[in-house]
Structure 1
């Protein structure tokens, strides 16, 4: 009677050992191999349409407001933000895989991602942060600019035809001379405090649209025909 019992116990012990060994080898990588790599993070950005325009009104935590327009044509991007009174920023560059990361001539920044429907992002202007979600727009909505006798007016137009715009009339240079179109050698601090804030800015006049959608406006009493800003537009 003892021999069968001993044989049965030996078999049970072998089975337990085999299960334990299987559990250990199943939870560890073979010797000399690398642990499994975690799945790479994937971007949530989507591909832009071939040509599109976006706009949004923005409010900073302190209550300051800005309006932004963005135009994309292929890889090319142009964007304009202004508050309708005394501040503006132009951004030019390219987008890659639905991601925009641009810096203005006066060191303002624009970062945004396209999610397939809207453009979401953040603008930093004169040290103030604005977040936005810009919807696609069509018709008369978009960015416009016009120039007369060295004075430039620019607008962001909403789908209902209302607009926010700023007029730029040059620089009020102080004690320090600078070339506003060649600022690469200046630090961000100097550009923001000694160049950016010397711009002569004020509210732009109204922009209107004829029945066919043709824009019209005036700069200092001179009639002008504003240009619709596309992604390939660049200021001189």
Structure 2
């Protein structure tokens, strides 16, 4: 045997060791991107658990409980065929109850999630904002009903219109729910008249006059 044989054997062993190390690195799982742009370790094998163990994830954020300074709510009234809509704009609030035959407008204040509104003839609303809904009680005359109204987005919600028709004052109110249910009432000099409920926010013709519904922001201070 020549002197070079041990040296060659040693070199071959070193080459094999380096090759195995490179192969081990290449087979290691790569980090995975997550939603916030950082990376997290890939799912790893957990022999004790007998399977794969997912990497820990951040808990989901809880919805805010802080009442919105600008929000619209609408829903059904328990024990009644009517709908109820209420809108908050800063420290002001406006509401409307309607079942097609009986209607009432309310206005009042919003403070720290508490809503206090008054209508004509002693009518009133007491309600509280909790998360993404308003719960409370509406009173009209001797009748009282409880209601729950979740937040809604346009075109759902509350609309109002006023006009002069042959010298008489016309006032119309409409409520639209996301499921398609709608209700409205029109009075002429305080007397209820028959009129169709238009599409949300769309103009209509009543007594031969074009009537343009107004969004809450346009009439909240006009009652």
TM bucket by the smaller chain? 0.5 to 0.7
Query: After superposition, what is the alpha-carbon deviation per residue over 1:29-68, rounded to whole angstroms, capped at 9, x for unaligned?
Result: xxxxxxxxxxxxxxxxx542121100011132xxx42211
Q: Which runs of 5+ in 2 are unaligned?
A: 1-64
Match of 2:88 in 1: 72
- Whether 1:127 aligns to 2:142 is yes
Aligned to 1:146: 161
What displacement does 1:89 show? 1.1
TM-score, scaled relative to structure 1: 0.60
The alignment partner of 2:100 has SS state of coil
Aligned length, in residue pairs: 155
Matched, 1:201 2:192: yes
Q: Which has the higher contact order (CA 8 A, sep 6+)?
A: 1
**1:205 deviation in Å?**
2.1
Closer, same or farther in 2 for the Cα pair 1:204/1:94, shift >3 Å?
A: farther
CA contact (8 A) 1:215 1:226 kept: yes
Q: Offset at 1:232?
A: 6.7
Q: Secondary structure at the match of 1:227?
A: coil
TM-score in terms of structure 2 length: 0.64
SS at match of 2:122: coil
Structure 1 residue ranges, 4+ long, deviating more than 4 angstroms after superposition: none
Give 1 or 2 for the bigger CA radius of gyration: 2
Cα deviation, residue 118, structure 1: 1.1
1: CA distance, partners of 2:119 / 2:194: 20
Q: Which position in structure 1 is the counterpart of 2:209?
A: 222
CA RMSD of aligned residues (A): 2.0
Match of 1:108 among 98, 108, 123: 123
Q: Secondary structure at the match of 2:86?
A: strand
Indicate if the aligned counterparts of 2:115 and 2:128 stay in contact, CA closer than 8 A: yes
User: Match of 1:50?
Assistant: 69
Q: Give unmatched runs, 5+ long, in structure 1.
A: 1-45, 171-198
Paired with 1:169 and 1:56, the residues of 2 have a C-alpha distance of 26
What is the aligned partner in structure 2 of residue 92 from structure 1?
A: 107
